[in-house]
Structure 1
């Protein structure tokens, strides 16, 4: 009954006469952050989203929505022009004054932690968003689904005694950057059963010598990066890369950037893709447990 009352946009009054909640049927949600946008859609509230930031690329429909800039440098004018009833973004969104500006405009806000890039934080954010947009049941269901998908992959990769060494490359059209610790990529690689051999923090440019020294068994790139450089063969133009065992054995995994650059509700899909590349059934170089 409560759900039907909410959907009609009624005011719910407690016994003492105080206002408890007011939920409008035509909520107007603006999101900032690719994984935040994905969560809102996964909670079946996509029809209420009226604007997104530039990092939001999934589901494909969001590319047709008005954009409010990049999450680190949002356009307050563009955001206010969409007349949102709630704004959901990262707690380190920019510019710094945007929080006060939205408060002055009487717009409800929900700021979520972006780091550390862990599964637990993702699940916590799903729960918070579910409460904020009145989709708590859907949030519980999504949390259970994510947990199940992740558990299935992690259980499968535990059977392997040897973790392949991995490097993730980004922005290959310009400087080649490698994802290190304290990144979403690092967390996803670990969950999928790989070892990210980049020990530095965040992203770092690599020289030819750095690639040769690292000598990863597997390279991960985004499909968007491959498109930007004109295809897989053009990876050979990156100095030092052809000297790695990953290149020589053609162990290169291409994955959509929305799956690996953000810890979102499709993390289970990302793990499945990576685990299949880390531990292909035909690979005889991986130490598998003895059959009984």
Structure 2
């Protein structure tokens, strides 16, 4: 009996030793985000008050601009991150896992984001909410996002036959394949991405390749009114003949946040307008 009594008294201690540290840690209260869309998601789910530092590209919502900057798109200042004494870091797996590995080895938990499609963003929002102790507000935000996504799919999901070329930047002329976030938006809106079969997510293409596909709509992720001016020399293109050169807010469309649906709705309207111009 004495042995069993000792075992029952020591069992909680043994469990504390063997349980994963992630399960034992308190709800994080000092969060560092080194990618803009995760910075934005924190505020979307109601956990913005936990954010203590950001990367240089994080600019939304506007109040984050006063936070200390500890990273940019090329590198992460590990000393600056450690100075913030974070109990959670938010990063982008495919781009930042190697840079964040030294911090993980120090025992600092990292939440990695890598949404594969529009619906999976809601899953990340719920996971973040659970991790940060804001499940109720996170689930509500995810539900709102999915409801709006479903409404867009119902309204614009039918094929239009409109061929779309998305100019990510120029020069060099770079587009998006069927795997990239903007490309998924084109498909969601019923358009045909003329670069859908490219092997790389963001392929560099020749203008001649685009001319052969003869898109009815050419888009640029830019607010520069001259971003598409170089296409004017190709007057035979349907997009030129029908005046279907359009600009769209890249900060919204390219970021994995509910705000992306603002740009998706705009894109869907552009594709419908191009459809109406088709003979």
Instruction: Give the TM bin, normalised by the shorter chain.
Output: 0.7 to 0.9
Of 251, 275, 279, 1:258 maps to 251
More RCO (CA 8 Å, sep 6+): 1
How many correspondences in the alignment?
A: 258
Larger Rg: 2
Please give the alpha-carbon distance, in whole angstroms, between the structure 1 residues aligned to 2:150 and 2:83: 43
Aligned-residue Cα RMSD (Å) equals: 2.7
CA deviation after TM superposition for structure 1 residue 57, in Å = 3.1
Name structure 1 gaps, 5 residues minimum: 1-15, 287-292
Q: Deviations over 1:219-255 (max 9, x none)?
A: 221234x2xxxx23x5222586554222332213322
Q: Deviations over 1:102-138 (max 9, x none)?
A: 441x4332123x25x3123212111111111111111
Name structure 2 gaps, 5 residues minimum: 1-11, 17-22
Within a 5 Å distance, the mapping from 1:147-226 to structure 2 comes to 147-158=146-157, 160=158, 162-172=160-170, 174-198=171-195, 199-200=197-198, 201-224=200-223, 226=224
Q: Deviations over 1:235-287 (max 9, x none)?
A: 2225865542223322133222122113322232222111111113992538x
Report the counterpart of residue 140 of structure 1 in structure 2: 139
Please give the alpha-carbon distance, in whole angstroms, between the structure 1 residues aligned to 2:122 and 2:103: 29
Confirm or deny that 1:110 pairs with 2:107: no
State the SS of the aligned residue for 1:68.
strand
Report the counterpart of residue 43 of structure 2 in structure 1: 41
Confirm or deny that 1:22 pairs with 2:26: yes
Q: TM-score, normalised by structure 2?
A: 0.81
Please give the alpha-carbon distance, in whole angstroms, between the structure 2 residues aligned to 1:100 and 1:265: 31
Q: TM-score, normalised by structure 1?
A: 0.77
| More strand per residue | 1
Is 1:165–1:194's contact at 8 Å kept on the other side of the alignment?
A: yes
Please give the alpha-carbon distance, in whole angstroms, between the structure 2 residues aligned to 1:162 and 1:140: 34
Q: Deviations over 1:11-65 (max 9, x none)?
A: xxxxx697966346xx221112222222111012223222222443322333333
Is 1:89–1:111's contact at 8 Å kept on the other side of the alignment?
A: yes
Please give the alpha-carbon distance, in whole angstroms, between the structure 2 residues aligned to 1:97 and 1:35: 18
CA deviation after TM superposition for structure 1 residue 162, in Å = 2.3
